[in-house]
């Protein structure tokens, strides 16, 4: 039999799903498997036990012979009951573990890529969203549900085979008579489910809108506007309309399915009737015992039970897109084309060089940097200034290896940082990004980020970053969660958050990082705090190289060197005095800011307003 590519892929995913059962935990998975197998053979066993009871009662040898088969039957029924009671919780444990392990793999996969280039591609984001397996509708299933579903499917066949064997022992011709229509029934039922699946999925856009509109009524921010504008009827009406547009074809299909069930019932009942009649007539004529009749009747029904259910198939179907997305991600993110290197750590602060660096964001149509040349000496305090969108933040992302230069290279002591290995290189860096993340964790965790924290070093870093005063006012000091969403947590202001991430960067320098990159770390700080922070940075700069991006020229004037980024390259470079006497762009901008400051404007010249 020649399989199409798609069928082959589906088979592969089915195998993959079975393989996932490993993650379910040995005991739980073994128990679940055992329950399933036992449940699979239970109908056949029940048939035999019932027949034994009937057979014994049929004879005329008193009650003692009936007792043993009766005990057997009772045991079978009790075991079946116990198994079905523990099946559900065991299944939840197995599924939960599989899903947890799966999601961790997806997260690792997403962070495995050295650069963040791929993460910015919408197609990759879509794949990640699908692969993460967080079902929002019933048609989506998790890998855990898919794996247990696939196992169940296999076990159903064990049930079918055992019931078939029992049947064959008494009347072999019943096997094809019952099994063939049973399969036909299954095929029809499955096709119907899949069709239903597709009809439901086709309206998913309306379903999403329905959810959006329905949730609006409960959201606090929207709640304000809904009341003020008096638009509650409009909102619930629109939601209802989307809900109905989605569900009408689904309900129509439900009616169709109900009608089609007749046809399926004929498929079930005709052969069953035939079997019952044939065996009944034989018993009537004394050619078959009552026991045989009982076993045949029970086992016949078991055959249909074994293949009749479709929920397992639905689970497998629902998990297919998840596994497909996961496999695509694995293939797409696995190989960066370059061997992963992790060279020896740098022994001293290196000389940094941007060697004719050109850069264009993936998919963009213009270069952000073009042939940028910049050398930064060890321990230098370099200020990087430039207009909004000049490419300053882009330069920090390149330095951190989050993107690779399109042309040229970034070198540390002459070695391309890509060759040093990004993991090792990043250990030498402490970076405060312009759009840093505010983790809803304690102050300590926000600074140490999972590393074992050295209290003295933490305090020292907090002092340098001007964060100590804030800390003293926090209810639980270092252990205060920095989010109101957490119990006992507080919300920090924008400036206070900058002090947190500055503390983190300074702490990293104290732990051995050699290059500190600060992308507008002080934009939200008041003038006094900013000045103090800058003072401390000048002291730090001797131990480590400091690259500071800022729009406030009064702050950066004391830097060893100021470089002005314009049109993708360095337009001006020198100390404040040199640049002022040069009388170029920097001098002009400084003059505007100074004049504005002197004429009584707020000291907080908004970021980027002038430069
Ligand atoms: N991920 C991205 N994909 C495509 N283009 C981007 C991306 N990030 C930034 N850009 C573009 O690159 C240019 C430089 O952005 P960058 O953030 O480096 O500027 P900046 O000098 O830091 O500006 P600012 O002073 O406002 O922080 C901008 O035109 C921006 O639109
Ligand atoms: Mg920026």
> Which atom of ligand 1 is nearest the CA belonging to 434?
27
Phi, psi of 338 (to 5 degrees): -115, 135
Our CA angle for 382, 385, 387, nearest 5°, is 165
Note whether 5-333 and 352-598 share their fold. Answer: no
Best probe residue, ligand 1, of 362, 364, 368 (max atoms within 8 Å of C-beta): 368
List C-alpha distances in Å: 40 to 45, 156, 306, 533. Answer: 10, 6, 7, 71
> Which atom of ligand 1 is nearest the CA belonging to 392?
21
Q: Which ligand is nearest to the CA of 367?
A: 1
Instruction: Give the Å distance between the CA of 524 and the centre of ligand 1.
Output: 20
pLDDT of 428:
87
Point out the residues of the chain with pLDDT beneath 70.
1, 58-64, 334-345, 596-611
3-state helix, strand, coil in the chain (%, to 5): 65, 10, 25
Dihedral over alpha carbons 215, 219, 222, 228 (to 10 degrees): 110
Is residue 364 within 6 Å of ligand 1 at its C-beta?
yes
Dist CA 531 CA 555 (whole Å): 7
What residues does each domain of the chain span?
A: 5-333, 352-598
Angle between helix 311-334 and helix 143-170 axes, rounded to 10 deg: 140
> Which atom of ligand 1 is nearest the CA belonging to 390?
21
Which residue's C-alpha comes closest to atom 1 of ligand 1?
361
Contact 51, 89 (CB under 8 A): no
Tens-place pLDDT, residues 3-27: 888 889 999 999 999 999 999 999 9
Say whether 518 sits in a helix, a strand or coil: strand
CATH match of 5-333 with 1.20.1560.10:
yes
DSSP-derived pairing of the beta strands 415-416 and 407-412: antiparallel
Dist CA 225 CA 230 (whole Å): 8
Instruction: Give the Å distance between the CA of 491 and the centre of ligand 1.
Output: 29
Instruction: Give the Å distance between the CA of 393 and the centre of ligand 2.
Output: 4
Instruction: Give the Å distance between the CA of 447 and the centre of ligand 1.
Output: 27
DSSP-derived pairing of the beta strands 429-432 and 515-519: parallel
Is residue 568 within 6 Å of ligand 1 at its C-beta?
no
Is residue 433 within 6 Å of ligand 1 at its C-beta?
no
Is residue 434 within 6 Å of ligand 1 at its C-beta?
yes
Best probe residue, ligand 1, of 387, 393, 398 (max atoms within 8 Å of C-beta): 393
pLDDT of 335:
55
Which residue's C-alpha comes closest to atom 31 of ligand 1?
389
CA 110 to centroid of chain Cα atoms: 9
Is residue 393 within 6 Å of ligand 1 at its C-beta?
yes
CA dihedral sign, ordered 6, 11, 14, 15? negative
Which residue's C-alpha comes closest to atom 25 of ligand 1?
388
- Which residues, at least 6 apart from 430, have a Cβ–Cβ distance to it below 8 Å? 504, 505, 506, 508, 509, 513, 515, 516, 517, 544
Dist CA 508 CA 104 (whole Å): 27
Q: What CATH code would you report for 352-598? A: 3.40.50.300
Instruction: Give the Å distance between the CA of 431 and the centre of ligand 2.
Output: 13
Instruction: Give the Å distance between the CA of 388 and the centre of ligand 1.
Output: 8
Dist CA 572 CA 551 (whole Å): 15
Written as six digits, the tokens of 409 are 């290279």
* pTM (two decimals): 0.69
Which residue's C-alpha comes closest to atom 16 of ligand 1?
391
Instruction: Give the Å distance between the CA of 183 and the centre of ligand 2.
Output: 64
Written as six digits, the tokens of 405 are 């230069």
Contact 502, 436 (CB under 8 A): no
Instruction: Give the Å distance between the CA of 340 and the centre of ligand 2.
Output: 29
Contact 429, 546 (CB under 8 A): no
Is residue 391 within 6 Å of ligand 1 at its C-beta?
yes
- Which residues, at least 6 apart from 86, have a Cβ–Cβ distance to it below 8 Å? 31, 35
> Which atom of ligand 1 is nearest the CA belonging to 565?
21
Written as six digits, the tokens of 39 are 């449940």
Instruction: Give the Å distance between the CA of 91 and the centre of ligand 2.
Output: 50
Instruction: Give the Å distance between the CA of 6 and the centre of ligand 1.
Output: 42
């Amino acid at each position: 039999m020649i399989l199409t590519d798609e069928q082959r892929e589906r088979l592969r995913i089915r195998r993959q799903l079975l393989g996932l059962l490993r993650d379910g935990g040995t005991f739980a998975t073994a128990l679940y498997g055992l329950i399933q197998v036992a449940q699979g053979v239970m109908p056949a066993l029940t048939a035999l036990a019932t027949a034994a009871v009937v057979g014994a009662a049929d004879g005329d040898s008193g009650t003692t012979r009936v007792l043993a088969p009766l005990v057997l039957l009772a045991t079978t029924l009790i075991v079946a009951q116990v198994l079905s009671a523990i099946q559900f919780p065991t299944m939840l444990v197995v599924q939960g573990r599989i899903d947890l392990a799966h999601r961790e793999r997806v997260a690792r996969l997403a962070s495995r890529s050295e650069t963040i280039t791929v993460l910015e591609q919408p197609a990759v984001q879509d794949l990640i969203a699908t692969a993460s397996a967080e079902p929002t509708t019933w048609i989506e299933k998790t890998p855990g549900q898919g794996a247990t579903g696939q196992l169940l499917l296999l076990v159903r066949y064990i049930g079918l085979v055992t019931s078939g064997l029992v049947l064959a022992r008494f009347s072999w011709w019943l096997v094809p008579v019952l099994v063939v229509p049973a399969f036909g029934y299954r095929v029809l039922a499955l096709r119907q489910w899949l069709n239903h699946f597709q009809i439901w999925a086709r309206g998913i856009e309306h379903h999403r809108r329905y959810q959006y509109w329905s949730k609006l009524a409960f959201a606090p921010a929207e709640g304000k506007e809904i009341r003020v504008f008096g638009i509650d009827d409009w909102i619930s009406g629109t939601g209802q309309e989307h809900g109905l547009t989605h569900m009408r074809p689904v309900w129509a299909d439900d009616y169709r399915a109900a009608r089609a069930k007749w046809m399926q019932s004929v498929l079930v009942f005709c052969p069953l009737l035939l079997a019952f009649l044939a065996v009944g007539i034989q018993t009537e004529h004394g050619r078959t015992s009552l026991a045989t009749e009982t076993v045949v009747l029970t086992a016949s029904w078991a055959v249909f039970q074994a293949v009749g259910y479709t929920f397992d198939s639905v689970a497998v179907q629902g998990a297919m897109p998840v596994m497909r997305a996961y496999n695509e991600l694995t293939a797409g993110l696995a190989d960066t084309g370059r061997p992963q290197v992790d060279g020896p750590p740098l022994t001293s602060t290196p000389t940094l060089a941007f060697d004719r660096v050109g850069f264009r964001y993936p998919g963009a149509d213009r270069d952000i940097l073009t042939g940028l040349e910049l050398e930064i000496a060890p321990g230098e305090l370099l200020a990087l200034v430039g207009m909004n969108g000049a490419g300053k933040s882009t330069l920090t992302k390149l330095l951190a290896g989050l993107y690779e230069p399109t042309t040229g290279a970034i070198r540390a002591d002459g070695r391309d940082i890509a060759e040093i290995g990004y993991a090792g290189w990043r250990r030498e860096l402490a970076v405060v990004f312009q759009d840093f993340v505010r983790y809803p964790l304690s102050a300590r965790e926000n600074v140490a980020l999972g590393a074992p924290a050295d209290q003295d070093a933490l305090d020292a870093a907090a002092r340098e970053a001007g964060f100590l005063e804030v800390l003293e006012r926090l209810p639980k000091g270092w252990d205060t969660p920095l989010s109101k969403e957490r119990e006992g947590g507080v919300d920090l202001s924008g400036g206070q958050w900058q002090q947190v991430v500055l503390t983190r960067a300074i702490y990293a320098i104290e732990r051995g990082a050699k290059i500190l990159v600060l992308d507008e770390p002080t934009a939200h700080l008041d003038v006094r705090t900013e000045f103090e922070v800058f003072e401390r940075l000048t002291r730090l700069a001797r131990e480590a190289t400091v690259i500071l991006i800022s729009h406030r020229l009064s702050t950066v004037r004391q830097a060893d060197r100021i470089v002005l980024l314009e049109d993708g390259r360095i337009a001006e470079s020198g100390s404040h005095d040199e640049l002022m006497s040069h009388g170029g762009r920097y001098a002009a901008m400084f003059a505007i800011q100074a004049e504005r400051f002197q004429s009584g404007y707020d000291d907080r010249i908004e970021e980027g307003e002038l430069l």
